[in-house]
Structure 1
């Protein structure tokens, strides 16, 4: 049976401008690996933390919820401050984008870039994401159909409470977009669900940033940093940070 190696955080030390990179829900730091190495090659310090329960066996995800992952983000930002970085920009994908927007409402950041950000998610959709992730993980491991079926039981029986709290976290973040005044770039994939283009427009309209840009990438799906427009997106990120 295939053993999938657990993911690790990424920390690449460079100049005094640090970039915090936040991955998506049920994924891990590979979302941000190419972005981090490309930015580091330009001189930036890059730090991509791994949220608790992510990047390991799917069962780990059952022990944590949105407040734990938000705390991981707060701790990651504090880590960069403790390391002496005064100038911190943040890049977030999907739920990482939600965390980026939330952080910008409370902390003094240099710039933020958000990609594929939802402005709402139904609890059932969020639960389904975990179920799909667990099923795919077990399939890649090469487990038998009967073993997978048996191991999927706890995922199907997950209570929706944690997912409702997740939805409320997203909604609360969106209700305070007017607190954001830092320069912001908002990107979405034109091959993603159409709701993400609408989300991008809503965020663009409601932030109070004097410098703001919004752009769709025609070949990009949801995980924009890994797809066909990856190089173009990374170049756009570099241009915006500079």
Structure 2
């Protein structure tokens, strides 16, 4: 699939199957990072909805006004939107923070399955744990750019509100201690070259959920935004096969 620059807008694609797919983007990101996956899943017959989380897709100043509760409420609203559209069988797929939110959704709402991709339990940047103090001295931190084939596809912020990083850290800790509440079919996905999330996060999730049906997939040539990286077509096919298995 060819990659082209996209907007941060949410998208909804109606499919023929009775399963609705909820795609949840990452921290400071947008549905753009899930656009190729969304189109692929729609082409295979699924209804796909990728909402824009609160505070995202506008400006870092707007995001600064939001926190984990606002992002979570965006996910709940999206879930209810799919229910109102008549989809009682819903599968949540999330990237990065979206993966953490997808796992939280699996703890609190009926889902057919959940797929966390590059979900952060442990992160490379140790400053994340210090944001409760750093927020008093630094308002924004500069976000490093990705490789061109990924960056050209993104619609994300170049600055990160430090107070929002603190809220993300709290969200991760909340989900981490409650992973045993996840008991539905789960596909854990992780790139080995992830520059943001420590890959061991995937093993931690896999080992601490209570799902009888659970799989873990590793991608040895992929970085954090795995949905846009070099192994994306393999990733999409692995997701398709898992969805077929759990939605029969």
TM-score (norm 2): 0.81
Alignment of 1:40 onto 2:45: no
Is the Cα–Cα contact under 8 Å of residues 117 and 196 in structure 1 kept in the other structure?
no
Alpha-carbon deviation of 1:5? 8.0
Alpha-carbon deviation of 1:58? 2.7
What is aligned with 2:65? 63
Distance 2:25 2:60 in 1: 16
Alpha-carbon deviation of 1:131? 2.7
Is the Cα–Cα contact under 8 Å of residues 102 and 116 in structure 2 kept in the other structure?
yes
What is aligned with 1:144? none
Distance 1:188 1:6 in 2: 25
Q: Within 5 Å, which residues of 2 pair with 1:219-234?
A: 219-234=221-236
Alpha-carbon deviation of 1:159? 6.2
4+ runs deviating over 4 angstroms = 123-128
Q: CA RMSD in A?
A: 2.7
* Aligned residue among 188, 191, 194 for 1:192: 194
Equivalent residue of 1:85, what SS? coil
Q: Within 5 Å, which residues of 2 pair with 1:137-156?
A: none
Equivalent residue of 1:54, what SS? coil
Distance 1:195 1:44 in 2: 29
Is the Cα–Cα contact under 8 Å of residues 219 and 228 in structure 1 kept in the other structure?
yes
Alpha-carbon deviation of 1:239? 0.6
Distance 1:239 1:114 in 2: 16
Distance 2:56 2:129 in 1: 19
Residue ranges of structure 1 left out of the alignment (5+ in a row): 141-151
* Aligned residue among 158, 180, 183 for 1:181: 183
The worse-fitting range, judged by mean Cα deviation, of 50-59 and 9-18 is 50-59
* Aligned residue among 103, 106, 130 for 2:105: 103
Distance 1:194 1:59 in 2: 23
Q: Which has the higher helix share?
A: 1
Distance 1:100 1:107 in 2: 10
Distance 1:241 1:55 in 2: 29
Distance 1:31 1:85 in 2: 24
TM-score (norm 1): 0.82
Alignment of 1:213 onto 2:223: no
- Post-superposition Cα deviations, 1:110-140, rounded to whole Å, max 9, x if no partner, equal 1111111111452557979x6324x87xxx9
Distance 1:103 1:183 in 2: 13
Count of aligned residue pairs for this structure pair: 220
- Post-superposition Cα deviations, 1:183-237, rounded to whole Å, max 9, x if no partner, equal 0010111111495321111111110101101111011100000100010000110
Alignment of 1:12 onto 2:13: yes
Equivalent residue of 1:196, what SS? coil
What is aligned with 1:93? 95
